[in-house]
Amino acid sequence: MKRRLLVPLTALALVLWAASALAAGADLVTVKELLAEPDKWHGRAVVVTGNVGKVEPRTSQRGNAYYTFRLSDGPRSVTVFSYGTPELRDGNRVNVEGTFLKVNRVGKYTFQNQVNAVRIRVL
């Protein structure tokens, strides 16, 4: 009986979370859409869902923890950047809320097709 309720409740929670993000001005978009029109989405708040791959926890020169990972929906993927330590693993399905940047320059480094995450939710 509990298992029957878990799926609808999880779906409802996902819809409510996405609705709150959209109400805050974020656009619900796919990885495919981001990569098809990166100029359109550059600098905009987005909510994107996909599968996690290549999680890389790191520490900056100033000692701040951060991590990156690849978010994919099939063969296409974007990089996700977030501060802190990852609470996810390769293969997880996640919702990422953040800002999409076609090009992101940080010091001497240049990153392309990146979502700077504000919130990541494992589904």
Of 37, 103, 115, the residue nearest 69 (C-alpha): 115
pLDDT at 99: 97
- pTM for the model: 0.77
CATH top-level class of 2-122: mainly beta
Tens digit of each residue's pLDDT (9 = 90 or more) over 2-46: 445 444 444 434 444 444 444 357 889 999 999 999 999 999 999
Domain boundaries of the chain, sorted by first residue? 2-122
Tell me how far apart the alpha carbons of residues 86 and 50 are, in angstroms, rounded to a whole number: 16
Tens digit of each residue's pLDDT (9 = 90 or more) over 73-95: 989 999 999 999 999 999 999 99
